[in-house]
Amino acid sequence: MRSLHSHTERHRTDRIGWLRAAVLGANDGIVSTASLVVGVAAAGSSHSNVLITGVAGLVAGAMSMAAGEYVSVHSQADTEAADLRREKAELAADPVAEQRELASIYVGRGLGPDLAQQVAAQLMAHDAIGAHGRDELGIFDAHLARPIQAALASAASFALGALLPLAVTALAPERGVIAWVTGLSLAFLALLGAVAAQVGGARVLAGAWRVFFWGALAMGITAAVGSLFGAVV
């Protein structure tokens, strides 16, 4: 009988948690800060006021992203923990019924009844809660909610994203600040979308285009509102 040899495979599912938070944070940092800067500039504010508004938006946005991401992801973690506690109680109360339930899941996936029973018995003997969490509840280690990691990734990526339009605002001439911030921010967004798509294994052009489109729409609407009302709304 030939021995089983393990081999290393690279998958991207273990990147889902931090990649989603990082992309969301950076995208929001660029879009919200650039839109804020463009809206205030379109309202006729001075260059110093535009810059101060952008800095305030960076700080407030980073804290908001961290708090929001922590609360939302923690809610997911609480739900997962509650489901696992309930599953542990059910395993302790009636392990035979739980084994039948697990076997029925494997039958539904294509195994024969006898083999499904054997697989269920062996997996439960090895790690009962792990088997039920994975195959019954759909809770995988790679997808586990990590609130602190998500909060820190969102805050840091938002701040880094917001620094880009802020740097352009600080360096651009006052008369051309809207054009400079809009153009370079859209370029940053397209690059972010392309990099995120590459890391996640998606189509690079599609990733770049969708981020570019929504960023342009946000900045366009904010500039129009600022220009129309002469104030940031």
Cα-flanking dihedrals φ and ψ of residue 44, to 5°? 90, 15
Taking the C-alpha atoms of residue 35 and residue 41, their distance in angstroms, rounded to an integer, is: 10
Digit-coded pLDDT (tens) for 199-227: 767 788 888 898 889 888 888 888 888 77
- Give this prediction's pTM: 0.67
What does the radius of gyration of the chain's CA atoms come to, in whole angstroms? 25
pLDDT of 56? 92
